[in-house]
Structure 1
């Protein structure tokens, strides 16, 4: 089992190396798990998993992430809010991809002797994530910044999730990543004047990597009946869908300026990403959320508003005693919890019935 990392409060960084953003609820997390338990799970190598491993091995994007001549120019003309919002987007994306690389690399190493086929798959997943992170980090260098990925490895706080949670969350993160990229790509194809940087033209192939990763975890999830064929699985599916959608809402609405620079309405974008991800999850999960319920999106947006107020309170009270700040924030924290509980209690949609109807 990997131990938790420790955050360093006052790191020393080189010139041009961006200091990692302070870890918050919305910061991409680094995960660890009980690798021995995962290695000992009864993992039958189904035909679907074999097919997905072959897809990953083919490495369809091995020649895609190559910087062309369009990158070879100055980007000083991108300034102000657009520049800062885009750099923030790059940092979050790079951190998220690198987090996936570290997790998949360790899974590959731990499973090598007990399940070589799955170890091979995680090697390919780690390859893709490392390629993505490296490509984004090069983009940051165009803005005279970069992330010290070695520093992140050693000093980021690692969040422990049981193996079952890892399967749920990685599946959802890959699928929501697919929809985030493809919806943005399709919008910019229609509004090419908004492509202020060449990275965006890579998103179509990029999101196909995310899609393949998600399909692999879907096959892994469906190979474990305890993850989809009982009442506990139905509750966990609702919980992880809701937490992923709530985090996405908070992240997108808080960074509305970035989407505005692309000509995208943040609220509309958030709705499209969540609705499509929820529909896709019906292929893996026993239940999905009722995103058409009149209280669903207003409830998520209310949580976003409350979270924004909590962050402002942290900034204003940063020099005061922690216990004072906690009690000032407590009513807002209770309100967020209340809205999340109400959303969780909305009657879900039976995914099996939905699949039968589609057939």
Structure 2
């Protein structure tokens, strides 16, 4: 039996108060969502002329704002909330806080870009994307408030650490995070659409139209990348490879901290992860000149190894003391070596299509 089949990396201390929720949102680790800042001047040099027709189509969709009234709780929402077993409740609360942090991270970044650029096309895009992510974060926060665990987003913005990313890293990471967010949400939505009896919280009813926002955000960055092809050639392929692996590995390890939540939805964490990778890889082939072979036995074994090491890392943290710190260091070295081996696994190269398929296909 694989290590992650029997158990997964354990969650941190329980979320039992707003302070606990804030502490979880502010936490910094390899698998927690981060806040980012960047060099804003590079955004002013972006030229979207080569994709003008597709760009105008996406901008029209943003302006039409078909989700302007979507993130409103209907009368049935509160009545659908039921008492959850303690382990499932904690994993679900962790999911909500992590999702809130991720969505709000996008809101903060996009708003900062909007305020610091003069390029009118980028300024307009960031205005729309910040609007959408603000709605998403607010909707998740309202669900946390049902449990008395709302997060003060203003305080989170002021007190969470920021990570600097070069602009091109922002392009790659944002494109992937939006697309993998779409793949995650639509996979959950379709599963619960088939099995509504497994929908243990009403927020999942919102996921279909919600993930259309994620898809559109990803398309915006896809067009930026396609309009600036130097970002997809030469040494930049190595960075694309890195971000693909980093995003996939982070998601896989993080999802194995929530086995009860996935089981409650009739999903198994590993199978769910590989389905998300399949969808994301199919979409990203329209933009990236390479994709990871996520079906390769060595790739899957590497992911399992990372989960097992995360389990050992948490055990070492709980042990404490000098021996615990030494064990954590050994786990960190082993995880780095595992990631490096996975990085150098063969990838799939392919030609980019003439045009991007602009509508969700899943």
CA displacement 1:120-177 (0-9 Å, x = unmatched): 1110000000000000100111112111111110000001100000000000000000
Whether 2:27 is the aligned partner of 1:27: answer no
Question: Aligned residue for 1:7?
Answer: none
CA displacement 1:174-216 (0-9 Å, x = unmatched): 0000000000000001111011211111000000000000000
Q: Output the CA distance in 2 between the equivalents of 1:334 and 1:72.
A: 46
Whether 2:216 is the aligned partner of 1:217: answer no
Moved over 6 A (4+): none
Instruction: Give the structure, 1 or 2, with the largest relative contact order (CA under 8 Å, sep 6 or more).
Output: 2
Question: Aligned residue for 1:168?
Answer: 172
Higher mean C-alpha displacement, 326-335 vs 275-284: 326-335
1:241·1:278 contact (CA, 8 Å) conserved in 2? no
Q: Output the CA distance in 1 between the equivalents of 2:259 and 2:60.
A: 39
Q: Output the CA distance in 2 between the equivalents of 1:65 and 1:74.
A: 16
Q: Output the CA distance in 2 between the equivalents of 1:173 and 1:55.
A: 20
Whether 2:345 is the aligned partner of 1:339: answer no
Q: Output the CA distance in 1 between the equivalents of 2:144 and 2:327.
A: 38
Q: Output the CA distance in 1 between the equivalents of 2:347 and 2:329.
A: 29
- Report SS of the residue matched to 1:27: coil
Question: Aligned residue for 2:268?
Answer: 265
- Report SS of the residue matched to 1:291: coil
Question: Aligned residue for 1:133?
Answer: 137
Whether 2:63 is the aligned partner of 1:64: answer no
Q: Output the CA distance in 2 between the equivalents of 1:126 and 1:147.
A: 18
- Report SS of the residue matched to 1:159: strand
- Report SS of the residue matched to 2:287: coil
Mapping for residues 204-243 of structure 1, pairs under 5 Å: 204-228=208-232, 230-243=233-246
Superposition deviation, residue 330 in structure 1: 2.8
Q: Output the CA distance in 1 between the equivalents of 2:203 and 2:82.
A: 16
Shift of the 56–311 alpha-carbon distance from structure 1 to 2, 3 Å rule, reads: same
- Report SS of the residue matched to 1:144: coil
Mapping for residues 104-253 of structure 1, pairs under 5 Å: 104-111=110-117, 114-228=118-232, 230-253=233-256
Superposition deviation, residue 347 in structure 1: 1.5
Q: Output the CA distance in 2 between the equivalents of 1:79 and 1:310.
A: 26
Q: Output the CA distance in 2 between the equivalents of 1:234 and 1:75.
A: 46
CA displacement 1:266-322 (0-9 Å, x = unmatched): 1110110012112211111111111222211121111111122112211211xx35x
- Report SS of the residue matched to 1:147: coil
Q: Output the CA distance in 2 between the equivalents of 1:326 and 1:165.
A: 32
Q: Output the CA distance in 1 between the equivalents of 2:148 and 2:350.
A: 47
- Report SS of the residue matched to 2:36: strand
TM-score, reference length from structure 1: 0.89
Q: Output the CA distance in 2 between the equivalents of 1:325 and 1:158.
A: 28
Q: Output the CA distance in 2 between the equivalents of 1:58 and 1:30.
A: 29
Superposition deviation, residue 76 in structure 1: 5.6
1:75·1:143 contact (CA, 8 Å) conserved in 2? no
Q: Output the CA distance in 2 between the equivalents of 1:232 and 1:297.
A: 26
- Report SS of the residue matched to 1:285: coil
Superposition deviation, residue 78 in structure 1: 2.3
Q: Output the CA distance in 2 between the equivalents of 1:346 and 1:66.
A: 45
**CA RMSD of the aligned region, Å?**
2.1
Unaligned runs of 5+ in 1: 1-14
CA displacement 1:40-70 (0-9 Å, x = unmatched): x242343122222222221111111110111
Whether 2:233 is the aligned partner of 1:256: answer no
Q: Output the CA distance in 1 between the equivalents of 2:59 and 2:212.
A: 15
Q: Output the CA distance in 1 between the equivalents of 2:83 and 2:58.
A: 43
Whether 2:83 is the aligned partner of 1:80: answer no
TM-score, reference length from structure 2: 0.88
Equivalent residue for 1:103, pick from 104, 109, 112: 109
CA displacement 1:74-94 (0-9 Å, x = unmatched): 846224112111111111111
Aligned residue-pair number: 336
- Report SS of the residue matched to 1:81: helix
Whether 2:293 is the aligned partner of 1:294: answer no
Q: Output the CA distance in 2 between the equivalents of 1:163 and 1:83.
A: 38
